[in-house]
Amino acid sequence: MKVLIVYDSVSPNKMTKAVAQTIGEVLGEKGIEADTRYFAEVDKSAIKNYDCAIVGGPTMAFRPSKGIAQFLDSLPKNEFNGKRAAAFDTKVKMAINGDASKGIEKKLKGLGFTIFKPPLEVYVQGLGKNMYQFKDGELEKAKNWAQEAASTLSG
Ligand SMILES: Cc1cc2nc3c(=O)[nH]c(=O)nc-3n(C[C@H](O)[C@H](O)[C@H](O)COP(=O)(O)O)c2cc1C
């Protein structure tokens, strides 16, 4: 079982990157080989060598960030049938909340991936000047999600 974790992260504190790294660490601790990559550094021709993709990005204007959306749109359509995937995102809690993870999940399904787990949604808090920190307990939530993902993938 080889897992590719792909993320975009835009703000200076790189919150989504931290979530991606947390997922990668937990999978590694559970004995699953996991590579964590910024979307622009992914070798697209090598994705087919992985059994599973976990893809995340920050929510921007109620959608996945441009980087991760364009990355997914640029992938070939028929290479991933039968492979497993899941989405994650970061966002602030707003009255109207669009989710990056829903958009990412839809694109993954469109590429032929089978979604093996509902998305991980991680809430951040704005500190001003495009700086963010995790809301209390959110990184813990990410760890738990990754532990469950590891059990599903190794089962
Ligand atoms: C231009 C812009 C638009 C944003 N739009 C949303 C949004 O629609 N919903 C939301 O919950 N958060 C929104 N945010 C907050 C981002 O989700 C937050 O910056 C992100 O989680 C930080 O992750 P990163 O450090 O990985 O970039 C927005 C932030 C920016 C800068």
User: Could you tell me if the CB of 14 is within 6 A of ligand 1?
Assistant: yes
pTM over 0.75: yes
Question: For ligand 1, is residue 102 a contact (CB within 6 Å)?
Answer: no
Give the pLDDT confidence score for residue 78 in this predicted structure: 84
Which stretches does DSSP call E strand in the chain? 2-7, 33-38, 52-60, 63-64, 84-91, 114-115, 120-128, 131-134
Which residue, judged by its Cα, is nearest atom 5 of ligand 1? 60
Q: Which residues does residue 7 pair with via DSSP β-bridges, in sequence order?
A: 38, 56
Residue 37: enclosing H or E segment and its boundaries?
strand 33-38
Cα 155 to Cα 153: distance, rounded to the nearest angstrom: 6
Quote the ligand 1 centre to 125 CA distance (angstroms): 10
Q: Strand ranges (DSSP E) for 47-112?
A: 52-60, 63-64, 84-91
The residues facing 55 across adjacent strands are 6, 87
What domains appear along the chain, each with residue ranges and CATH number? Answer: 2-154 (3.40.50.360)
* Cα–Cα distance measured from residue 29 to residue 27, given in angstroms and rounded to the nearest whole number: 5
Atom in ligand 1 nearest the alpha carbon of residue 18: 26
Whether 2 contacts 51, CB under 8 Å:
yes
Tokens representing 49 are 């060598």
The response to whether residue 116 sits with its C-beta less than 6 Å from ligand 1 reads: no
Q: What mean pLDDT is predicted for residues 21-25?
A: 98
Distance in angstroms (rounded) separating the CA atoms of residues 104 and 8: 11
Which tens digit of pLDDT belongs to each residue from 57-66? Answer: 999 999 999 9
Length of the chain measured in residues: 155
Q: Is the CB of 133 under 6 A from ligand 1?
A: no
Structural contact between residues 103 and 63, judged by C-beta atoms closer than 8 angstroms: yes
Name the 3-class secondary structure at 52: strand
pLDDT, tens digit, for every residue of 31-64? 999 999 999 999 999 999 999 999 999 999 999 9
pLDDT on residue 32: 98
Index of the ligand 1 atom closest to the CA of residue 89: 21
Q: Is 132 in the pocket of ligand 1 (CB under 6 A)?
A: yes
Q: Does the Cβ of 123 fall within 6 Å of ligand 1?
A: no
Tokens of 40: 């622009």
